[in-house]
A and B are shown apart, each in its own frame.
Chain A
Protein backbone atom coordinates (compact mmCIF):
# COMPACT_ATOMS: atom_id res chain seq x y z
CA UNK A 1 0.00 0.00 0.00
CA UNK A 2 1.46 3.34 -0.99
CA UNK A 3 1.20 6.59 0.88
CA UNK A 4 -2.29 7.71 1.63
CA UNK A 5 -3.61 10.97 0.24
CA UNK A 6 -4.21 13.36 3.11
CA UNK A 7 -7.77 14.07 1.93
CA UNK A 8 -8.88 10.47 2.42
CA UNK A 9 -8.40 10.69 6.16
CA UNK A 10 -8.41 14.33 7.21
CA UNK A 11 -9.02 13.64 10.88
CA UNK A 12 -5.94 11.48 11.36
CA UNK A 13 -3.87 13.77 9.16
CA UNK A 14 -4.84 16.74 11.32
CA UNK A 15 -3.98 14.82 14.47
CA UNK A 16 -0.48 13.95 13.27
CA UNK A 17 0.31 17.12 11.36
CA UNK A 18 -1.00 19.95 13.55
CA UNK A 19 1.39 19.49 16.51
CA UNK A 20 4.36 19.32 14.16
CA UNK A 21 3.27 22.26 12.02
CA UNK A 22 2.49 24.44 15.03
CA UNK A 23 5.75 23.66 16.78
CA UNK A 24 7.92 24.18 13.72
CA UNK A 25 6.13 27.39 12.83
CA UNK A 26 6.13 28.91 16.30
CA UNK A 27 9.49 27.80 17.61
CA UNK A 28 11.57 27.53 14.49
CA UNK A 29 10.28 29.55 11.57
CA UNK A 30 9.22 32.57 13.64
CA UNK A 31 12.57 32.83 15.51
CA UNK A 32 14.50 32.46 12.26
CA UNK A 33 12.28 35.07 10.62
CA UNK A 34 13.00 37.47 13.48
CA UNK A 35 16.74 37.04 12.95
CA UNK A 36 16.28 37.59 9.23
CA UNK A 37 14.25 40.78 9.79
CA UNK A 38 16.69 42.15 12.38
CA UNK A 39 19.55 41.65 9.95
CA UNK A 40 18.04 44.53 7.98
CA UNK A 41 17.75 46.70 11.08
CA UNK A 42 19.90 49.23 12.86
CA UNK A 43 20.53 50.17 16.46
CA UNK A 44 18.65 53.25 17.66
CA UNK A 45 19.70 54.15 21.16
CA UNK A 46 20.74 51.54 23.65
CA UNK A 47 18.07 48.89 23.44
CA UNK A 48 15.90 49.88 20.55
CA UNK A 49 16.31 48.34 17.15
CA UNK A 50 14.58 49.74 14.12
CA UNK A 51 14.02 47.45 11.17
CA UNK A 52 14.66 49.99 8.47
CA UNK A 53 15.50 47.70 5.57
CA UNK A 54 19.08 48.88 5.50
CA UNK A 55 21.76 46.71 3.94
CA UNK A 56 24.51 48.28 6.04
CA UNK A 57 24.95 45.14 8.17
CA UNK A 58 25.65 43.04 5.11
CA UNK A 59 27.92 45.75 3.72
CA UNK A 60 29.87 45.73 6.97
CA UNK A 61 30.15 41.94 6.80
CA UNK A 62 32.09 42.27 3.54
CA UNK A 63 34.79 44.32 5.27
CA UNK A 64 38.20 42.69 5.07
CA UNK A 65 38.23 41.80 8.78
CA UNK A 66 35.03 39.77 8.59
CA UNK A 67 35.76 38.29 5.18
CA UNK A 68 39.09 37.04 6.46
CA UNK A 69 37.41 35.46 9.48
CA UNK A 70 34.91 33.74 7.18
CA UNK A 71 37.77 32.56 4.99
CA UNK A 72 39.72 31.35 7.97
CA UNK A 73 36.72 29.47 9.38
CA UNK A 74 36.33 27.70 6.04
CA UNK A 75 40.03 26.86 5.94
CA UNK A 76 40.01 25.50 9.50
CA UNK A 77 36.82 23.48 8.90
CA UNK A 78 38.21 22.07 5.64
CA UNK A 79 41.50 21.12 7.27
CA UNK A 80 39.69 19.47 10.18
CA UNK A 81 37.48 17.53 7.76
CA UNK A 82 40.48 16.38 5.75
CA UNK A 83 42.33 15.18 8.86
CA UNK A 84 39.19 13.42 10.12
CA UNK A 85 38.83 11.70 6.73
CA UNK A 86 42.44 10.53 6.67
CA UNK A 87 42.35 9.34 10.28
CA UNK A 88 38.81 7.98 10.14
CA UNK A 89 38.86 6.04 6.88
CA UNK A 90 41.16 3.23 8.05
CA UNK A 91 39.15 3.03 11.27
CA UNK A 92 35.92 2.65 9.32
CA UNK A 93 37.62 -0.01 7.17
CA UNK A 94 38.80 -1.85 10.25
CA UNK A 95 35.30 -1.82 11.77
CA UNK A 96 33.71 -3.00 8.52
CA UNK A 97 36.04 -5.95 8.14
CA UNK A 98 36.28 -6.82 11.82
CA UNK A 99 34.92 -10.11 13.08
CA UNK A 100 31.30 -10.33 14.19
CA UNK A 101 32.44 -10.47 17.78
CA UNK A 102 34.53 -7.32 17.63
CA UNK A 103 32.53 -5.04 15.35
CA UNK A 104 29.87 -3.92 17.83
CA UNK A 105 32.50 -3.11 20.44
CA UNK A 106 34.61 -1.10 18.03
CA UNK A 107 31.49 0.80 17.02
CA UNK A 108 30.65 1.41 20.64
CA UNK A 109 34.20 2.62 21.17
CA UNK A 110 33.71 5.25 18.48
CA UNK A 111 30.25 6.20 19.66
CA UNK A 112 30.80 6.55 23.37
CA UNK A 113 32.87 9.75 23.06
CA UNK A 114 30.20 11.06 20.68
CA UNK A 115 27.63 10.63 23.46
CA UNK A 116 29.88 12.25 26.04
CA UNK A 117 29.39 15.90 26.81
CA UNK A 118 31.23 18.14 24.37
CA UNK A 119 32.30 20.58 27.05
CA UNK A 120 33.75 17.82 29.19
CA UNK A 121 35.68 16.45 26.24
CA UNK A 122 37.06 19.88 25.41
CA UNK A 123 38.02 20.41 29.03
CA UNK A 124 39.72 17.01 29.20
CA UNK A 125 41.74 17.85 26.12
CA UNK A 126 42.71 21.23 27.59
CA UNK A 127 43.99 19.51 30.71
CA UNK A 128 46.15 17.24 28.61
CA UNK A 129 47.52 19.93 26.31
CA UNK A 130 48.32 22.59 28.93
CA UNK A 131 51.93 23.63 29.52
CA UNK A 132 51.89 21.41 32.62
CA UNK A 133 49.88 18.64 30.95
CA UNK A 134 50.86 15.17 29.88
CA UNK A 135 51.35 16.00 26.20
CA UNK A 136 54.07 18.42 27.15
CA UNK A 137 55.55 16.01 29.66
CA UNK A 138 55.66 13.29 27.03
CA UNK A 139 57.39 15.58 24.58
CA UNK A 140 59.80 16.58 27.35
CA UNK A 141 60.70 12.95 28.01
CA UNK A 142 61.27 12.39 24.28
CA UNK A 143 63.45 15.50 24.17
CA UNK A 144 65.54 14.36 27.09
CA UNK A 145 65.82 10.90 25.55
CA UNK A 146 67.11 12.46 22.36
CA UNK A 147 69.52 14.59 24.37
CA UNK A 148 70.81 11.51 26.17
CA UNK A 149 71.26 9.66 22.86
CA UNK A 150 73.34 12.57 21.60
CA UNK A 151 75.64 12.40 24.60
CA UNK A 152 75.98 8.65 23.99
CA UNK A 153 77.35 9.22 20.49
CA UNK A 154 79.56 12.02 21.76
CA UNK A 155 77.55 15.05 20.64
CA UNK A 156 76.63 18.07 22.75
CA UNK A 157 73.43 17.46 24.73
CA UNK A 158 70.37 19.42 23.62
CA UNK A 159 69.31 22.55 25.46
CA UNK A 160 66.98 21.93 28.40
CA UNK A 161 63.38 21.26 27.49
CA UNK A 162 61.10 24.28 27.33
CA UNK A 163 57.38 23.45 27.47
CA UNK A 164 55.75 24.28 24.13
CA UNK A 165 52.53 26.22 24.00
CA UNK A 166 50.06 23.59 22.78
CA UNK A 167 46.98 25.49 23.90
CA UNK A 168 45.49 28.84 22.92
CA UNK A 169 46.61 28.86 19.31
CA UNK A 170 45.42 27.69 15.91
CA UNK A 171 47.01 24.28 16.36
CA UNK A 172 44.90 23.70 19.47
CA UNK A 173 41.71 24.69 17.62
CA UNK A 174 42.36 22.23 14.78
CA UNK A 175 43.42 19.51 17.19
CA UNK A 176 40.36 20.06 19.38
CA UNK A 177 37.96 20.11 16.43
CA UNK A 178 39.44 16.87 15.07
CA UNK A 179 39.07 15.30 18.50
CA UNK A 180 35.44 16.36 18.75
CA UNK A 181 34.38 15.56 15.19
CA UNK A 182 36.17 12.29 14.47
CA UNK A 183 33.16 10.10 15.41
CA UNK A 184 30.96 12.16 13.06
CA UNK A 185 33.22 11.12 10.19
CA UNK A 186 33.74 7.46 11.12
CA UNK A 187 30.07 6.51 11.52
CA UNK A 188 28.79 7.51 8.03
CA UNK A 189 31.96 6.07 6.48
CA UNK A 190 31.29 2.79 8.24
CA UNK A 191 27.65 2.83 7.13
CA UNK A 192 28.75 3.23 3.50
CA UNK A 193 31.54 0.65 3.65
CA UNK A 194 29.28 -1.86 5.33
CA UNK A 195 26.89 -1.77 2.38
CA UNK A 196 29.68 -2.46 -0.08
CA UNK A 197 29.54 -5.63 -2.15
CA UNK A 198 32.57 -7.53 -0.95
CA UNK A 199 32.81 -9.73 -4.00
CA UNK A 200 33.92 -6.66 -5.97
CA UNK A 201 36.89 -6.21 -3.66
CA UNK A 202 37.69 -9.90 -3.85
CA UNK A 203 37.48 -9.77 -7.65
CA UNK A 204 39.87 -6.85 -7.73
CA UNK A 205 42.33 -8.66 -5.48
CA UNK A 206 41.99 -11.87 -7.51
CA UNK A 207 42.70 -9.98 -10.72
CA UNK A 208 46.00 -8.88 -9.28
CA UNK A 209 45.44 -5.40 -7.94
CA UNK A 210 47.21 -4.67 -4.68
CA UNK A 211 45.35 -3.74 -1.52
CA UNK A 212 46.17 -0.05 -1.86
CA UNK A 213 45.11 0.04 -5.50
CA UNK A 214 41.91 -1.86 -4.68
CA UNK A 215 41.06 0.65 -2.00
CA UNK A 216 41.73 3.65 -4.21
CA UNK A 217 40.09 2.29 -7.39
CA UNK A 218 37.26 0.15 -6.02
CA UNK A 219 36.41 0.95 -2.41
CA UNK A 220 36.68 4.73 -2.51
CA UNK A 221 34.56 5.24 -5.68
CA UNK A 222 31.88 2.84 -4.42
CA UNK A 223 31.80 4.41 -0.99
CA UNK A 224 31.76 7.95 -2.43
CA UNK A 225 28.23 8.79 -1.23
CA UNK A 226 29.20 7.83 2.32
CA UNK A 227 32.44 9.77 2.07
CA UNK A 228 30.56 12.86 0.92
CA UNK A 229 28.03 12.40 3.72
CA UNK A 230 30.84 12.10 6.26
CA UNK A 231 32.54 15.18 4.86
CA UNK A 232 29.33 17.21 5.12
CA UNK A 233 28.51 15.94 8.61
CA UNK A 234 31.98 16.99 9.75
CA UNK A 235 32.37 20.17 7.73
CA UNK A 236 29.08 21.81 8.69
CA UNK A 237 29.39 21.68 12.50
CA UNK A 238 33.11 22.44 12.27
CA UNK A 239 32.34 25.59 10.30
CA UNK A 240 29.92 26.81 12.95
CA UNK A 241 32.01 25.66 15.91
CA UNK A 242 31.93 27.99 18.87
CA UNK A 243 33.14 26.17 21.96
CA UNK A 244 36.47 24.80 20.74
CA UNK A 245 37.87 28.06 19.28
CA UNK A 246 36.52 29.94 22.29
CA UNK A 247 38.15 27.74 24.93
CA UNK A 248 41.19 26.39 23.13
CA UNK A 249 41.99 29.17 20.68
CA UNK A 250 44.13 32.23 21.12
CA UNK A 251 43.29 35.81 20.26
CA UNK A 252 43.92 35.17 16.58
CA UNK A 253 42.01 31.90 16.25
CA UNK A 254 38.49 33.27 16.30
CA UNK A 255 36.02 31.61 14.02
CA UNK A 256 32.83 33.05 12.66
CA UNK A 257 30.69 31.76 15.53
CA UNK A 258 32.85 33.62 18.04
CA UNK A 259 32.35 36.87 16.14
CA UNK A 260 28.58 36.28 16.11
CA UNK A 261 28.57 35.57 19.84
CA UNK A 262 30.45 38.80 20.53
CA UNK A 263 27.82 40.87 18.74
CA UNK A 264 25.20 39.56 21.16
CA UNK A 265 27.02 39.15 24.44
CA UNK A 266 29.55 41.99 24.34
CA UNK A 267 29.28 44.43 21.43
CA UNK A 268 25.48 44.53 21.72
CA UNK A 269 25.05 44.93 17.98
CA UNK A 270 22.17 42.56 17.34
CA UNK A 271 21.41 43.55 13.73
CA UNK A 272 25.01 42.95 12.66
CA UNK A 273 25.09 39.64 14.55
CA UNK A 274 21.85 38.65 12.84
CA UNK A 275 23.31 39.45 9.42
CA UNK A 276 26.42 37.37 10.16
CA UNK A 277 24.21 34.49 11.34
CA UNK A 278 22.29 34.50 8.11
CA UNK A 279 25.47 34.67 6.06
CA UNK A 280 26.62 31.53 7.88
CA UNK A 281 23.29 29.84 7.16
CA UNK A 282 23.55 30.81 3.47
CA UNK A 283 27.04 29.30 3.41
CA UNK A 284 25.58 26.03 4.75
CA UNK A 285 22.89 26.06 2.10
CA UNK A 286 25.48 26.53 -0.63
CA UNK A 287 27.47 23.59 0.72
CA UNK A 288 24.39 21.38 0.83
CA UNK A 289 23.30 22.45 -2.66
CA UNK A 290 26.77 21.59 -3.96
CA UNK A 291 26.46 18.16 -2.41
CA UNK A 292 23.09 17.42 -3.98
CA UNK A 293 24.39 18.62 -7.36
CA UNK A 294 27.28 16.21 -7.10
CA UNK A 295 24.95 13.44 -6.13
CA UNK A 296 22.75 14.07 -9.14
CA UNK A 297 25.62 14.28 -11.61
CA UNK A 298 26.26 10.53 -12.12
CA UNK A 299 22.59 9.90 -12.87
CA UNK A 300 22.73 12.33 -15.78
CA UNK A 301 25.57 10.51 -17.47
Chain B
Protein backbone atom coordinates (compact mmCIF):
# COMPACT_ATOMS: atom_id res chain seq x y z
CA UNK B 1 0.00 0.00 0.00
CA UNK B 2 1.15 3.52 -0.69
CA UNK B 3 0.75 4.39 2.96
CA UNK B 4 3.26 1.75 3.93
CA UNK B 5 5.69 2.42 1.09
CA UNK B 6 9.24 2.83 2.26
CA UNK B 7 10.39 5.04 -0.59
CA UNK B 8 8.36 8.02 -1.78
CA UNK B 9 6.32 7.42 -4.90
CA UNK B 10 7.67 8.76 -8.18
CA UNK B 11 5.09 10.62 -10.27
CA UNK B 12 4.78 7.88 -12.86
CA UNK B 13 4.47 5.00 -10.44
CA UNK B 14 0.73 4.94 -10.90
CA UNK B 15 0.56 1.33 -9.82
CA UNK B 16 1.70 2.36 -6.36
CA UNK B 17 -1.26 4.62 -5.68
CA UNK B 18 -3.81 3.13 -3.35
CA UNK B 19 -6.84 3.47 -5.59
CA UNK B 20 -5.01 1.85 -8.50
CA UNK B 21 -4.12 -1.10 -6.33
CA UNK B 22 -7.67 -1.41 -5.10
CA UNK B 23 -8.96 -1.23 -8.67
CA UNK B 24 -6.57 -3.89 -9.98
CA UNK B 25 -7.28 -6.04 -6.93
CA UNK B 26 -11.01 -5.77 -7.51
CA UNK B 27 -10.62 -6.72 -11.17
CA UNK B 28 -8.51 -9.73 -10.25
CA UNK B 29 -11.13 -10.82 -7.71
CA UNK B 30 -13.79 -10.35 -10.38
CA UNK B 31 -11.81 -12.49 -12.83
CA UNK B 32 -10.77 -15.23 -10.45
CA UNK B 33 -13.45 -15.51 -7.76
CA UNK B 34 -15.90 -17.48 -9.96
CA UNK B 35 -13.17 -19.92 -10.99
CA UNK B 36 -11.87 -20.38 -7.46
CA UNK B 37 -15.37 -20.96 -6.12
CA UNK B 38 -16.01 -23.48 -8.88
CA UNK B 39 -12.82 -25.35 -8.02
CA UNK B 40 -13.47 -25.34 -4.28
CA UNK B 41 -17.01 -26.59 -4.70
CA UNK B 42 -15.90 -29.48 -6.87
CA UNK B 43 -14.77 -31.00 -3.54
CA UNK B 44 -18.07 -30.27 -1.83
CA UNK B 45 -19.99 -33.24 -0.51
CA UNK B 46 -23.38 -32.00 -1.63
CA UNK B 47 -25.57 -32.41 -4.67
CA UNK B 48 -26.46 -28.76 -4.69
CA UNK B 49 -23.61 -26.37 -5.08
CA UNK B 50 -24.46 -23.88 -2.39
CA UNK B 51 -23.54 -25.00 1.08
CA UNK B 52 -20.25 -26.53 2.14
CA UNK B 53 -20.92 -30.00 3.52
CA UNK B 54 -17.46 -31.44 3.84
CA UNK B 55 -14.60 -32.54 1.65
CA UNK B 56 -15.02 -35.30 -0.88
CA UNK B 57 -13.43 -36.45 -4.09
CA UNK B 58 -16.37 -38.58 -5.13
CA UNK B 59 -17.39 -36.23 -7.92
CA UNK B 60 -13.98 -36.70 -9.49
CA UNK B 61 -14.53 -40.44 -9.37
CA UNK B 62 -17.98 -39.93 -10.84
CA UNK B 63 -16.66 -37.66 -13.59
CA UNK B 64 -13.92 -40.14 -14.46
CA UNK B 65 -16.45 -42.98 -14.44
CA UNK B 66 -18.71 -41.09 -16.79
CA UNK B 67 -17.70 -42.71 -20.05
CA UNK B 68 -19.29 -40.05 -22.20
CA UNK B 69 -17.45 -37.30 -20.38
CA UNK B 70 -14.11 -39.08 -20.63
CA UNK B 71 -14.71 -39.85 -24.28
CA UNK B 72 -15.56 -36.20 -24.89
CA UNK B 73 -12.37 -35.10 -23.16
CA UNK B 74 -10.25 -37.56 -25.15
CA UNK B 75 -11.91 -36.36 -28.34
CA UNK B 76 -11.24 -32.73 -27.48
CA UNK B 77 -7.58 -33.37 -26.70
CA UNK B 78 -7.15 -35.40 -29.89
CA UNK B 79 -8.75 -32.70 -32.02
CA UNK B 80 -6.68 -30.02 -30.32
CA UNK B 81 -3.45 -31.96 -30.90
CA UNK B 82 -4.22 -32.67 -34.56
CA UNK B 83 -5.41 -29.14 -35.22
CA UNK B 84 -2.30 -27.73 -33.55
CA UNK B 85 0.11 -29.75 -35.66
CA UNK B 86 -1.56 -28.88 -38.96
CA UNK B 87 -2.12 -25.24 -37.96
CA UNK B 88 1.54 -24.88 -37.07
CA UNK B 89 2.69 -26.13 -40.47
CA UNK B 90 0.08 -24.20 -42.43
CA UNK B 91 0.45 -21.07 -40.35
CA UNK B 92 4.25 -21.02 -40.49
CA UNK B 93 4.29 -21.66 -44.22
CA UNK B 94 1.73 -18.91 -44.85
CA UNK B 95 3.75 -16.53 -42.68
CA UNK B 96 6.92 -17.28 -44.65
CA UNK B 97 5.02 -16.72 -47.90
CA UNK B 98 3.70 -13.33 -46.79
CA UNK B 99 7.03 -12.30 -45.33
CA UNK B 100 9.31 -13.39 -48.12
CA UNK B 101 7.48 -12.87 -51.38
CA UNK B 102 5.92 -10.08 -53.33
CA UNK B 103 3.13 -11.36 -55.55
CA UNK B 104 -0.02 -10.11 -57.27
CA UNK B 105 -3.08 -9.54 -55.04
CA UNK B 106 -0.89 -9.89 -51.97
CA UNK B 107 -2.99 -7.63 -49.74
CA UNK B 108 -6.15 -9.47 -50.77
CA UNK B 109 -4.53 -12.81 -49.92
CA UNK B 110 -3.27 -11.36 -46.65
CA UNK B 111 -6.75 -10.14 -45.77
CA UNK B 112 -8.42 -13.43 -46.68
CA UNK B 113 -6.02 -15.41 -44.52
CA UNK B 114 -6.84 -13.32 -41.45
CA UNK B 115 -10.57 -13.26 -42.24
CA UNK B 116 -11.40 -16.37 -40.15
CA UNK B 117 -10.24 -14.40 -37.09
CA UNK B 118 -12.73 -11.63 -37.79
CA UNK B 119 -15.75 -13.57 -39.04
CA UNK B 120 -18.03 -14.27 -36.07
CA UNK B 121 -17.80 -17.79 -34.74
CA UNK B 122 -21.46 -18.41 -35.34
CA UNK B 123 -21.12 -17.59 -39.05
CA UNK B 124 -18.11 -19.87 -39.39
CA UNK B 125 -20.03 -22.64 -37.61
CA UNK B 126 -22.99 -22.21 -39.94
CA UNK B 127 -20.66 -22.23 -42.95
CA UNK B 128 -19.11 -25.54 -41.89
CA UNK B 129 -22.50 -27.07 -41.12
CA UNK B 130 -23.70 -26.23 -44.64
CA UNK B 131 -20.40 -27.17 -46.25
CA UNK B 132 -20.20 -30.64 -44.71
CA UNK B 133 -23.89 -31.21 -45.46
CA UNK B 134 -23.39 -30.13 -49.08
CA UNK B 135 -20.47 -32.47 -49.71
CA UNK B 136 -22.16 -35.32 -47.82
CA UNK B 137 -19.32 -35.75 -45.35
CA UNK B 138 -19.74 -39.26 -43.91
CA UNK B 139 -20.95 -39.34 -40.32
CA UNK B 140 -20.13 -42.91 -39.40
CA UNK B 141 -16.36 -43.17 -39.64
CA UNK B 142 -14.34 -44.96 -36.98
CA UNK B 143 -12.40 -43.02 -34.37
CA UNK B 144 -10.32 -40.87 -34.91
CA UNK B 145 -11.55 -40.24 -38.45
CA UNK B 146 -14.99 -39.23 -37.19
CA UNK B 147 -13.28 -36.17 -35.75
CA UNK B 148 -12.13 -35.07 -39.21
CA UNK B 149 -14.84 -32.49 -39.83
CA UNK B 150 -14.33 -30.78 -36.48
CA UNK B 151 -10.55 -30.87 -36.88
CA UNK B 152 -10.76 -29.24 -40.32
CA UNK B 153 -12.99 -26.51 -38.93
CA UNK B 154 -10.61 -25.92 -36.03
CA UNK B 155 -7.56 -25.71 -38.30
CA UNK B 156 -9.32 -23.05 -40.37
CA UNK B 157 -9.73 -20.71 -37.43
CA UNK B 158 -6.46 -21.64 -35.65
CA UNK B 159 -3.86 -21.30 -38.37
CA UNK B 160 -4.39 -17.54 -39.00
CA UNK B 161 -3.37 -16.96 -35.39
CA UNK B 162 -0.17 -18.94 -35.95
CA UNK B 163 0.48 -16.91 -39.11
CA UNK B 164 0.01 -13.68 -37.17
CA UNK B 165 2.39 -14.68 -34.38
CA UNK B 166 5.07 -16.13 -36.67
CA UNK B 167 4.92 -13.17 -39.01
CA UNK B 168 5.58 -10.66 -36.28
CA UNK B 169 8.53 -12.77 -35.20
CA UNK B 170 9.91 -12.96 -38.74
CA UNK B 171 9.88 -9.18 -38.94
CA UNK B 172 12.91 -9.21 -36.60
CA UNK B 173 14.80 -11.70 -38.77
CA UNK B 174 18.02 -10.44 -40.25
CA UNK B 175 17.88 -11.50 -43.90
CA UNK B 176 21.66 -11.33 -44.11
CA UNK B 177 21.76 -14.54 -42.08
CA UNK B 178 19.84 -16.24 -44.84
CA UNK B 179 22.19 -14.88 -47.48
CA UNK B 180 25.22 -15.92 -45.50
CA UNK B 181 23.87 -19.45 -45.24
CA UNK B 182 23.25 -19.51 -48.98
CA UNK B 183 26.71 -18.15 -49.73
CA UNK B 184 28.10 -20.96 -47.64
CA UNK B 185 26.30 -23.42 -49.86
CA UNK B 186 23.07 -24.18 -48.02
CA UNK B 187 20.08 -25.19 -50.11
CA UNK B 188 16.67 -23.50 -49.75
CA UNK B 189 15.48 -26.35 -47.55
CA UNK B 190 18.58 -26.25 -45.36
CA UNK B 191 18.19 -22.50 -44.90
CA UNK B 192 14.59 -23.03 -43.91
CA UNK B 193 15.38 -25.84 -41.52
CA UNK B 194 18.59 -24.60 -39.92
CA UNK B 195 18.25 -20.82 -40.04
CA UNK B 196 14.63 -19.80 -40.32
CA UNK B 197 12.99 -22.39 -38.05
CA UNK B 198 15.35 -21.77 -35.12
CA UNK B 199 14.57 -18.07 -35.44
CA UNK B 200 10.82 -18.75 -35.52
CA UNK B 201 10.92 -21.17 -32.60
CA UNK B 202 9.53 -18.90 -29.84
CA UNK B 203 6.71 -17.87 -32.14
CA UNK B 204 6.04 -21.50 -33.02
CA UNK B 205 5.78 -22.42 -29.33
CA UNK B 206 3.42 -19.51 -28.73
CA UNK B 207 1.41 -20.34 -31.85
CA UNK B 208 1.11 -23.98 -30.86
CA UNK B 209 -0.10 -23.05 -27.43
CA UNK B 210 -2.54 -20.56 -28.86
CA UNK B 211 -4.06 -23.01 -31.32
CA UNK B 212 -4.21 -25.79 -28.75
CA UNK B 213 -6.17 -23.60 -26.34
CA UNK B 214 -8.35 -22.10 -29.05
CA UNK B 215 -9.25 -25.56 -30.28
CA UNK B 216 -9.87 -26.91 -26.80
CA UNK B 217 -11.93 -23.85 -25.98
CA UNK B 218 -14.17 -23.78 -28.99
CA UNK B 219 -17.79 -24.51 -28.45
CA UNK B 220 -19.83 -22.72 -31.13
CA UNK B 221 -18.09 -23.98 -34.26
CA UNK B 222 -17.84 -27.51 -32.88
CA UNK B 223 -21.51 -27.45 -31.90
CA UNK B 224 -22.43 -26.85 -35.54
CA UNK B 225 -19.85 -29.19 -37.07
CA UNK B 226 -20.12 -32.24 -34.83
CA UNK B 227 -22.23 -35.12 -36.02
CA UNK B 228 -24.73 -36.84 -33.74
CA UNK B 229 -22.12 -39.25 -32.39
CA UNK B 230 -19.07 -37.07 -32.04
CA UNK B 231 -19.01 -35.12 -28.86
CA UNK B 232 -16.30 -32.84 -27.53
CA UNK B 233 -15.71 -31.66 -24.01
CA UNK B 234 -17.27 -28.19 -24.36
CA UNK B 235 -20.29 -29.64 -26.16
CA UNK B 236 -20.74 -32.24 -23.41
CA UNK B 237 -20.35 -29.68 -20.63
CA UNK B 238 -22.82 -27.44 -22.46
CA UNK B 239 -25.48 -30.12 -22.47
CA UNK B 240 -24.76 -30.92 -18.82
CA UNK B 241 -25.03 -27.26 -17.82
CA UNK B 242 -28.12 -26.82 -19.96
CA UNK B 243 -30.10 -29.71 -18.58
CA UNK B 244 -28.79 -30.53 -15.15
CA UNK B 245 -26.11 -28.85 -13.11
CA UNK B 246 -24.14 -31.44 -11.18
CA UNK B 247 -20.91 -31.24 -9.19
CA UNK B 248 -19.47 -33.56 -11.82
CA UNK B 249 -19.26 -30.56 -14.12
CA UNK B 250 -17.27 -28.75 -11.44
CA UNK B 251 -14.89 -31.67 -11.12
CA UNK B 252 -14.38 -32.00 -14.87
CA UNK B 253 -13.98 -28.22 -15.23
CA UNK B 254 -11.41 -28.14 -12.44
CA UNK B 255 -9.37 -30.78 -14.26
CA UNK B 256 -9.45 -28.71 -17.43
CA UNK B 257 -8.54 -25.50 -15.61
CA UNK B 258 -5.56 -27.28 -14.08
CA UNK B 259 -4.57 -28.52 -17.53
CA UNK B 260 -4.74 -24.93 -18.83
CA UNK B 261 -2.61 -23.63 -15.98
CA UNK B 262 -0.05 -26.40 -16.47
CA UNK B 263 0.14 -25.69 -20.21
CA UNK B 264 0.59 -21.99 -19.54
CA UNK B 265 3.40 -22.68 -17.12
CA UNK B 266 5.11 -25.00 -19.59
CA UNK B 267 4.97 -22.15 -22.08
CA UNK B 268 6.38 -19.81 -19.46
CA UNK B 269 9.27 -22.18 -18.81
CA UNK B 270 9.91 -22.27 -22.55
CA UNK B 271 9.70 -18.55 -23.14
CA UNK B 272 9.30 -16.36 -20.11
CA UNK B 273 6.20 -14.40 -19.20
CA UNK B 274 6.99 -11.37 -21.29
CA UNK B 275 7.36 -13.22 -24.55
CA UNK B 276 4.01 -14.94 -24.06
CA UNK B 277 2.41 -11.62 -23.26
CA UNK B 278 3.78 -10.05 -26.38
CA UNK B 279 2.16 -12.60 -28.63
CA UNK B 280 -1.21 -11.06 -27.90
| Same complex origin of A and B | yes
Q: Using a CB–CB distance below 8 Å, which chain A residues touch chain B?
A: 1-6, 9, 11-13, 15-17, 19-21, 23-24, 27-32, 34-35, 38, 87-88, 90-91, 93-99, 102-121, 123-128, 130, 132-134, 179, 182-183, 187-188, 191, 198, 201-202, 205, 211, 236-237, 239-240, 242-243, 247, 257, 260-261, 264, 270, 273-274, 277-278, 280-281, 284, 288
B96 to A, closest residue via Cβ: A16
Additional A-B contacts beyond A13-B101, A117-B217, A240-B122 (6; CB < 8 A)? A12-B100, A94-B15, A111-B264, A111-B277, A123-B38, A242-B122
Q: Whole-angstrom distance from the CB of A116 to the nearest CB of chain B?
A: 5
- Check B118 against A16 for contact (C-beta < 8 Å): no
**Given known contacts A23-B156, A123-B241, A274-B126, is B119 in contact with A284 (CB within 8 Å)?**
yes
Distance, CA A108 to CA B179, complexed state (A): 38
**Given known contacts A94-B14, A127-B37, A284-B118, is B224 in contact with A104 (CB within 8 Å)?**
no
Give the residue of B89, B97, B155, B272 whose beta carbon is less than 8 angstroms from that of A27: B155
Distance, CA A108 to CA B274, complexed state (A): 9
Query: Is residue B238 within 8 Å, beta carbon to beta carbon, of the partner chain?
Result: yes
- Check A97 against B15 for contact (C-beta < 8 Å): yes
Distance, CA A223 to CA B9, complexed state (A): 24
CB neighbors of A among B18-38 (8 A):
20-21, 23-24, 27-28, 30-35, 37-38
Please name all residues of chain B whose beta carbon is closer than 8 Å to the beta carbon of A284 when the two chains form the complex. 118-120
Q: List 19 A-B contacts (CB under 8 A).
A: A11-B188, A20-B90, A31-B127, A35-B130, A110-B31, A112-B260, A113-B31, A117-B257, A119-B234, A119-B237, A120-B253, A127-B38, A128-B37, A198-B12, A211-B14, A242-B220, A264-B126, A264-B224, A273-B126
- Name which of B55-63, B108-116, B138-146, B197-205 contacts chain A: B108-116
Please name all residues of chain B whose beta carbon is closer than 8 Å to the beta carbon of A91 when the two chains form the complex. 23-24, 27
- Check B118 against A288 for contact (C-beta < 8 Å): yes
B97 to A, closest residue via Cβ: A16
- Check A242 against B30 for contact (C-beta < 8 Å): no
Query: Is residue B249 within 8 Å, beta carbon to beta carbon, of the partner chain?
Result: yes
- Check B102 against A120 for contact (C-beta < 8 Å): no
Main secondary structure of the interface of A (DSSP, over half): helix
- Chain B residues with a Cβ closer than 8 Å to the other chain, count: 90
Distance, CA A117 to CA B12, complexed state (A): 36
Distance, CA A130 to CA B152, complexed state (A): 37
Give the residue of B34, B115, B120 whose beta carbon is less than 8 angstroms from that of A124: B34
Give the residue of B15, B33, B156 whose beta carbon is less than 8 angstroms from that of A28: B156
Distance, CA A288 to CA B152, complexed state (A): 27
B235 to A, closest residue via Cβ: A119
- Check B219 against A243 for contact (C-beta < 8 Å): yes
- Check B14 against A35 for contact (C-beta < 8 Å): no
- Check A28 against B93 for contact (C-beta < 8 Å): no
Give the residue of B93, B102, B220 whose beta carbon is less than 8 angstroms from that of A16: B93
Query: Per-residue 0/1 for B219-260: is the Cβ within 8 Å of any A Cβ (1 yes, 0 no)?
Result: 110001000000000100110011001000110010011001
**Given known contacts A127-B37, A205-B11, is B131 in contact with A117 (CB within 8 Å)?**
no
Give the residue of B11, B33, B89 whose beta carbon is less than 8 angstroms from that of A19: B89
Distance, CA A23 to CA B113, complexed state (A): 10
Distance, CA A17 to CA B268, complexed state (A): 32
